[in-house]
Structures are given as structure tokens and as C-alpha cells.
Structure 1
């Protein structure tokens, strides 16, 4: 199909379902805006928990604290898995709209939780987690399919900037609202997530669907219209042809997308790579810092957790600055090199406090907090954004929805376990020892990257899939 474009076409596209024209900047901004909600709901309990703990007299009840905090991630496990099937059926755009509705409704329900109703709060946070898990899978998949190969790392990294901006926003809201009456303070913090959810819904209403989804479902004309906007002056026919050839070849081979197919020959290598990176990101312990930093500072310094709300803001600022650094270097350095650098420094940041605590038990306990800040700094521009860049890049087209859902679910399983077990572990062993365990996992993540993850920078999604197929074919030939 021949395509022609006008100067206006080079900057705008018309979404047929809405009849409105939107700019590419608008597309990329709201395509990644789901990360704001994702980040806000990750970070909001950090500020709300000290007030909730006082209001409901939860001090010393490590199990209740763990379940309230981690229940969101439990729902996200299911949400991440279901979002893949849903987005493959109805499209990335409509699935994100559905997630926004759940976000808004769940946030309001949390704000009106009955007093001391732990079961109600846990149930609602599981429900809200469905949307959080869906967003964690849908946003990187959508952004990777909209972005050209040369900018894919930077634009996919925009998702991480949105996530950490949402976290910082929740920390700032906790700081602003901390002087309200205790009950009103934590309820306001939780309910405020409904505001960005409404903004997301209104923005996504005007977004076009992913061109890869459109071509896969035979909507070629719409796909070409979107591509003309996203690739002004580019060879959109070549890109569309590559997508069509991939779909046709796999359809002709009679392959059917199922959970079992994720680990069949030609897909296995890439699925293990993407899902493994997603799992390692959480088991490395980052969210233990983000969820519990006021309580960590309380134990280290002896000050009340409610007086430590400045530390989440410090961590949030580091995360945002790191995400901006990543946007500047995303497409200048190989993915594997950045993951290796980050994993090594992160592992050292967790292991050194344990070593110092063992050699000099009388050392200043706040030294741990300083090392945690170093961890956050390197995590912020390596594993935090690159996990979702790789998840968006590495999965083949025909299984991308399910595979991204699997990766998201594994990521949230790790987040759930960290959120649930960290307060229980710190109640039974010194904090430096707990973080040392995470340090070992960081180093194992480096080994995994060096042995199981392909380099994806600057390669089209189809090129990545083809090279992985050749790799698996070679391995099978060698085993015969």
C-alpha cells in the first residue's frame, strides 16, 4: 500500500473511534501516564502506613502491616496475567481505559474504609491491584509498539519516569497532609489516587491503538494512519511489511497463542529472558525500601516513623533524577551493560552495611540508610527502567500480550513477597542481615543478565525475534 503524508499528517493522527486529531507528544505522554497511577499506588502506603498504624493500633503487628502493604501486589499478580489476554483481545488502549476505571473506584473505596476493618482494606487493595498489575504490563507494551527502534529505550523509559514521579507525588502528598487529624490524613492520601486516574481516562480516550495490534487484527488502514504520524518521513511500508510477514509466517505454521506456547522452542529463550529480568527486579528488594523507609529509619534512628516522612521524599527525588538520567543515556549504552553496572553496585550497597555491622557492631546505624540511598540511585537508572524496556522489546509479537502479562505477574509476585515478609524478617533479625540477602540476589541477577538476556538496543522487534529463533534452532540442532 502506498502512503502519502502531509505536514499535518507528520504531527497528528486521527483516531477513528473518536474523530479527533492528537499530536505525537500527546500520544507518548498519555501512553506512559499510567505509570503515574502505578507509582502513586506503590508509594502511597509508605506515607499512609505510619498514620494508619497509629489510628488502628497496629504497632508490633508485623503480619497485619505486611498484609495491608502487600495485598495490592497480590491483586497485581492476577491483573498482570489477565491484562495480556485482555489487551490481545480488545486492544492496549481499551485495556488501559478499563484499568483507569478500576484505579478510580478502588481509590475512593480505600478512602472510606470502615475503622479497623483490615479485611476490607486488604480486599479493596487486592481489587485495586488488578489495575496496578494491568498498567505495569500494558504501558510498556503499548509504548514499545508505538516507538521507533532508535527511540524505543528513551520512550519506554518515559514509563519509568512516570512511575517514579507518581511515587514522589505520593510522598509529597504525605508530607503535605501529615498535619491533618490522623484518620483524615491516611484516608486522604489513599483517596487522592482517584484524581490522576480520571486524568488518565480522559487522556487515553483520545489515543490511537497500537499499529501492531491493528495489523494483527486486519485493520491495516488504521495501522498505516497511525504509523504515518509516529514515523514522519520514515519507511512505514517496510515496518508494516515486517509486522505482516511475522504474523503471516506464524499463522501459516499453525501456531496458537497459549500459556504453554510461551515455553516452546522458538519462544522459550526470549520468554525466560524477559520474565527472569522482571522477577529479579523485585526479588532484589527495592520495594522493601520504598514501602518501609519510614519504619527503616525509625528502627535505625529511634525516631517516630511519622517524623521520618522526609526520607521517602529524598528517595523519590533520587528516583526521578535517575529516571531523567536514563532518558538521556537510554539509547547510548547497551542494555546488558547498564544492568550489570547497576546490579553490582546495588549488591555492594546491601552487602557492605552487613559487613560493617559484623566488623564494627557499634557503627552508626544510619550508615545503612546512606547505603540504601546509593542503592536507589543506581537502581533508578538501570534495573528500574530497563526491566520494562526489555519486557517491551524482547517478546515476539504473537505472544507479546501473554508474555508481558507473565513477566508482570512474576514481578508482582516478587513485590508481594517482599512487601509481606520484610516486616516479619526485620522483626526476627537485624536489618543489615535482611538487606544482605537482597544483596546476594542482586549479584545473581547480574549472572542471569550475562548468561540469559540478549542485547536489544537499536534492533527492531522483528529482528530480536528472528535472532532468538536462530539461537533456539542452533541449540536444538546441537542436541540432536
Structure 2
């Protein structure tokens, strides 16, 4: 036992935070890998004119993630965060390999890959739910903001990694290129599994299970001050007690009662707008977008995803620098306005100048990605983490996550169908209008959370509900 304690004691907080957030790499890799794999897959299976099948193959992971996040949240309360992250890594490894070895059976191959990628999506959704929960429970309160930024950096780093892998494999024979791109997703999953084997369980989970001695021991690895450990243990106990009482008093209908409706609509609305604004259309389909704009083969345009990936990583670092310098609403409105114009202006320019350089749209997409990367991408989840009162936090956060995954799935599914039936500029203009609607939503329906305690934010929602009740015409 003493040997094991010494072995655990050697685990540094840096190791815990690195592998605690490493699940973001898996999430990001699988978002990005299909970007490069899709052109080769289309050519290999002759899917160039099968827009709906291409949409389903691309978005199947997100469809599975809708259920994976909800399922993992419930199971992690029973079995622990660490065990469920390990299980997610195993599922990710297995179905990544099965994606890479998809049999060539004509149209049936596409349905096989759709099903496998849906099951892979269970692991992606689980990782997206479990990693932030584990990190928030391991990190000291003063570091949670920066560490939420670390999770976002891991996600976009995973996307960039997948883009680089796609680029390096692009000269292989087409039937091998896409298989290796998809199958190599098992490598970061294996690294995650091996790293998490050495991670401790969340002290919060251990306390909920009545193991205070082990919770105190783990906190001693990542907190230096004994008084801080005692204070945190007492705080966790009090919060757990309040959550149990809240769960006994609330139901799904509580979310839409007058007291909470304003904050629930705000949080769920921001989560939904983040995806319906069309970011994933760029991340999934940028080589095909460039192909349609220029006529060059999509498989020869795999440098563009790397450009997008670099912008995303730089943007995530910019966010960590400015996160506490500007109001949440200000960043969301400025970001959304520029994103909307980046989508709308190419359509306007093309209408006024039909001979516009086709690469103009790609330049504007880069501007979109830059502003998305340090506004809506990270701030959505910061705001969702802050805005929901304790009594409804679990259910409301789950609802916000579900709407976000539904938006991600639908954008991935319908984008190729839309571009097959209308000009590309018109499709992006539609997403641009949604971006502007998102700005209006933030302006009118979302409270400022920066610098406010959770209690003050809840009071804003309560007061807003009272005003609405007393002035129904408003």
C-alpha cells in the first residue's frame, strides 16, 4: 500500500492537467480528420454525386455524440470520471480501427461506415462531457478559467494534428489514404488510455461515494496548503448536499418555470447558435469548398485545413490572454457580427462583381475562423458553465450540450446537400444571417456573467422573471 501511495505521489499536477484535458485531442482529431479523408473516400467509393450519403458519413460522429455525452454523464456519476474516460478511449480505439478497415461492398460500405462512426461518436460525445467535468473538479478555483482555455486549445490542436496527418498521407494511393487517416485516430486514443491509467479519480466523486480519506489524499497531490484542502473538502460536501436537495426538488418542467426560463433560454440558445452559425461546415468541408470555388481537385487542397487549424490554435491562445479583459457579451457580439459579415460579403461581392476571384470566399472564411476561434468557440462553454443556477445546472447543461450536438450534426449533414442545389455563396450567406441573429439574441436575451458570482447571475434571472410576470406585454 505504501509503495502504491509513493507511486501516486509522484504524479505532478502538470501531468494530471495534461492528460485530464488530453481527451480534447481525440475530440478535435475526429472533427478534423474527415476533412482530408472525404475527398479520397468519395473518389474511392464513387460518392461524388451522393450528397446525402456524404453528409451522413461526415455527420454520423456528431449524431452519436448527442447520446454519448448524456450517457457518459450519468455513468460517470455511478462509476467515476476516470473509469469512463478510460472506457471512452477504448471505444474510440476500436471504432477508429473499424472505420479504417471498412469493407468495399458498394453502397453497403457507406452504411457500414455510417454505423461505425455513430458508435465512434458515443466516445466523442463522452469525451466532450467528461473532460471538462474532470478538469473542473481537479483544478483549483483560481485556475479553472485558464484550464477551460487549455481544453479548447487541446481540441483545436487535435484538429490541427488531423489536418497535418491528412496532408502527410495525401500522396498515398486513394484507397489507402483515407483508411489510414481514419484509422490513425486510434493512436491518440491509446496515448490517452495509457496516460489516464496513472491519473487519480476525482476527489468530488470519491466524496460522493463516502471515501473522504482517499479524496483528501488525492487533493494533497494537487493542493499545497493543508488548510486549503480542509476548506475545499468542506465546500465539496456542502455543494454535494445542495445538489442532492436541488435534484429532489426539480424536474424538467422546472427549467421553463418563470424563475429560471430566462437563464435557460440564454444558455441553451447560445449553445445552439454556436453550431447553427456554420463553423463545422468549414472544418469538415474546406477542401471541397476550395474545389467548388476554384475547380482544383479537393485532394490537392489539403494545405487549407492546416491554415484553418493554425488560426484556431492561435485564436485559442488569444482567448486565454483576453478572457478576463472583456465582457462575455461584448466578445460574442463583436465576434458574431464579423463572422456574419464574413459569410454575407462574398455573396454581395459576387452579385456586384460576377467575375470575382474565386479565392475571395476562402479569404473571408479564414476571417470567420479567426473571430470564431477566440469568441464563440470558447465563450459558449464558459457562459454555459456560469449561467445556470445550481438547482437546474445538471439538466440545463445537458440540454445545452444536446442542442449543440444536434446543431453540429445537422450542419454536417445538410451542407453538402445545400451546396449541391444552390451556389456556395448563397449557402454561406444563410449561415451569415444566422450569425447576425445570434448577435441580436445575445444583445436581447443573454445577461453578462463576467465578474458576477453565480448567486448574482441567478438573481438576474429571478428578477428578469419577475419583471416579465408583472409586465406580460413585454
- In structure 2, the residue matched to 1:372 is 365
Residues 298 and 308 in structure 1, CA contact (< 8 A), matched pair in contact too = yes
Cα distance in 1 for partners of 2:438, 2:229 equals 37
Could you report, residue by residue, the CA deviation over 1:223-261 in whole angstroms, capped at 9, with x for unpaired residues? 444444444347444444344333334545672565455
Could you report, residue by residue, the CA deviation over 1:407-463 in whole angstroms, capped at 9, with x for unpaired residues? 22211111111111111111111111111111111122223333433444456xxx4
Name the structure where helix makes up a greater proportion of residues: 2
- Scaled by the length of structure 2, the TM-score of the pair is 0.90
Cα distance in 2 for partners of 1:448, 1:222 equals 46
Does 2:150 match 1:161? no
Cα distance in 2 for partners of 1:215, 1:260 equals 30
Q: CA deviation at 1:350?
A: 0.8
1:87 is aligned, of 54, 76, 91, to: 76
SS for the counterpart of 1:446 is: helix
Residues 265 and 472 in structure 1, CA contact (< 8 A), matched pair in contact too = no
- In structure 1, the residue matched to 2:384 is 391
- In structure 1, the residue matched to 2:15 is 26
Does 2:117 match 1:140? no
Unaligned residue ranges in structure 1 (runs of 5+): 1-13
Structure 1 residues 93 and 448: alpha-carbon distance in aligned structure 2, compared to 1, 3 A threshold: farther
Residues 144 and 392 in structure 1, CA contact (< 8 A), matched pair in contact too = no
Cα distance in 1 for partners of 2:410, 2:185 equals 24
Residues 389 and 458 in structure 2, CA contact (< 8 A), matched pair in contact too = no
Cα distance in 2 for partners of 1:209, 1:337 equals 38
Cα distance in 2 for partners of 1:240, 1:333 equals 32
Q: CA deviation at 1:332?
A: 3.0
Map 1:279-294 → 2, pairs under 5 A? 279-294=272-287
Residues 338 and 368 in structure 2, CA contact (< 8 A), matched pair in contact too = yes
Cα distance in 2 for partners of 1:449, 1:16 equals 49
SS for the counterpart of 1:379 is: helix
- In structure 2, the residue matched to 1:45 is 34
Map 1:126-275 → 2, pairs under 5 A? 126-233=118-225, 235-252=228-245, 255=248, 259-263=252-256, 268-275=261-268
Residues 247 and 398 in structure 1, CA contact (< 8 A), matched pair in contact too = no
Cα distance in 2 for partners of 1:395, 1:240 equals 23
Cα distance in 2 for partners of 1:15, 1:150 equals 30
Cα distance in 2 for partners of 1:99, 1:248 equals 29
Cα distance in 2 for partners of 1:297, 1:157 equals 30
Q: CA deviation at 1:201?
A: 1.1
Cα distance in 2 for partners of 1:472, 1:103 equals 40
Cα distance in 2 for partners of 1:290, 1:253 equals 39
Residues 85 and 402 in structure 1, CA contact (< 8 A), matched pair in contact too = no
Could you report, residue by residue, the CA deviation over 1:19-74 in whole angstroms, capped at 9, with x for unpaired residues? 45411111111111001010111111110011011111111211111111111111
- In structure 2, the residue matched to 1:310 is 303
Does 2:394 match 1:405? no
Does 2:331 match 1:338? yes
Structure 1 residues 18 and 456: alpha-carbon distance in aligned structure 2, compared to 1, 3 A threshold: farther
SS for the counterpart of 2:337 is: helix
Structure 1 residues 336 and 216: alpha-carbon distance in aligned structure 2, compared to 1, 3 A threshold: farther
Structure 1 residues 17 and 360: alpha-carbon distance in aligned structure 2, compared to 1, 3 A threshold: farther
Structure 1 residues 397 and 298: alpha-carbon distance in aligned structure 2, compared to 1, 3 A threshold: same
Cα distance in 2 for partners of 1:217, 1:337 equals 42
Unaligned residue ranges in structure 2 (runs of 5+): none
Higher relative contact order (CA 8 A, sep 6+): 1
Does 2:308 match 1:319? no
- Scaled by the length of structure 1, the TM-score of the pair is 0.89
Residues 92 and 142 in structure 1, CA contact (< 8 A), matched pair in contact too = yes
Residues 83 and 405 in structure 1, CA contact (< 8 A), matched pair in contact too = no
Q: CA deviation at 1:325?
A: 1.6
- In structure 2, the residue matched to 1:426 is 419
Cα distance in 2 for partners of 1:63, 1:141 equals 35
- In structure 2, the residue matched to 1:363 is 356
Does 2:289 match 1:296? yes
Does 2:428 match 1:435? yes
Q: CA RMSD in A?
A: 2.6
Q: CA deviation at 1:388?
A: 2.6
Does 2:103 match 1:111? no
